[in-house]
Amino acid sequence: MRTWLRRATTGRDEKSDAPKSSDAQPMSAAVAGINTYDFSLSDQQIARGVHRKRVGAMWDQIGKHQFDYLVEVGLQPQHRMLDVGCGALRGGIHFVRYLEPGHYYGIDVNESLLRAGLEHEVPAAGLQGRLPAENLRATSMFESDFGIPFDYALAVSVFTHLPLNHIRLCLWQLAKAMPPGGRFLATFFRAPADLPYDEPVQQVAVQTHVERDPFHYRPYELEWAGSLAGWEFTDIGDWGHPRGQQMAEFRRPG
């Protein structure tokens, strides 16, 4: 692991002689059996751009689309934003270019994707000096407290790979890092309300499931998950995603 990469620790193991769980295995092993992000890319793979495919490809299109959308709904250069499941910065490079230096933050469970973003994509885009390494964090618990409040948070193609308990945890963690009025935009695959609960859904390009990756949700399930941490929910729906992902907004009341 590179020394630049800030791993989140819970502090629970601090006084124990037992190795921290995060020392024993790659961070991404935390999602083994849940989704396909339990891999670690080598420097050679990153140099060949493999990370771009591993976050779903359509690098330029989906990267720019998520940026344009967040600006359209209100993101301004002086805001601070957290990119949840930021991966290799497909959207991140656009935000890093637009936001004031140091105002973009990202968390992800996969350290090698974060490394690909910081060490490969940021220099390739000519953005050195605009993204402090400390702004990126490897975490399997969505630890979102960087000591500053975020105006906006975004999760593109992340809830689509997560079971509901992970989404609950994410929303709970993020609620602590966002002030009243803070907005969290997150994409999801929609399941029709009248569909039998155990049936898969054919989306634009993939089939989604209730019990395995890629996951689909009914909006009221996301609303409920958010309500447990005090979020107000809006089902935005279509936002022009080429693979039919839908948009949900969670807002801190006040």
Ligand X SMILES: C[S@@+](CC[C@H](N)C(=O)[O-])C[C@H]1O[C@@H](n2cnc3c(N)ncnc32)[C@H](O)[C@@H]1O
What residues line the site for ligand X (CB under 6 A)? 31, 35, 37, 55-56, 62, 85-87, 90-91, 108-110, 113, 140, 142, 156-158, 161-162, 166
CB burial readout 118-134, b (16+ within 10 A) else e: bbbbbeeeebeebbeee
Q: Which is nearer to ligand X, 158 or 225 (CB)?
A: 158
Give the pairing type, strands 183-190 and 216-217.
parallel
In the complex, least distance from residue 32 CB atom to ligand X, rounded to whole angstroms: 11
Structure-derived torsion over alpha carbons of residues 185, 70, 62, 153, reported in degrees to the nearest 10? -40
Q: Which is nearer to ligand X, 75 or 162 (CB)?
A: 162
Instruction: Name the strand (E) or helix (H) holding 195.
Output: none
* DSSP SS3 for 73: coil
Contacts of 43 (CB under 8 A, 6+ apart): none
Q: How far apart are CA 114 and CA 40, in angstroms?
A: 11
Q: Which of 157, 159, 145, 52 is nearest to 107 (CA)?
A: 145
Q: Which is nearer to ligand X, 121 or 151 (CB)?
A: 121
Q: Which is nearer to ligand X, 87 or 219 (CB)?
A: 87
In the complex, least distance from residue 65 CB atom to ligand X, rounded to whole angstroms: 9
Q: Which is nearer to ligand X, 110 or 135 (CB)?
A: 110
In the complex, least distance from residue 216 CB atom to ligand X, rounded to whole angstroms: 15
In the complex, least distance from residue 196 CB atom to ligand X, rounded to whole angstroms: 27
In the chain, where do the E strands start and end?
Answer: 6-7, 81-84, 104-108, 136-138, 152-155, 183-190, 201-202, 207-208, 216-217, 232-238, 246-251
In the complex, least distance from residue 51 CB atom to ligand X, rounded to whole angstroms: 9
Q: How far apart are CA 202 and CA 253, in angstroms?
A: 35
In the complex, least distance from residue 92 CB atom to ligand X, rounded to whole angstroms: 8
Q: Which is nearer to ligand X, 166 or 218 (CB)?
A: 166
Q: Which is nearer to ligand X, 134 or 199 (CB)?
A: 134
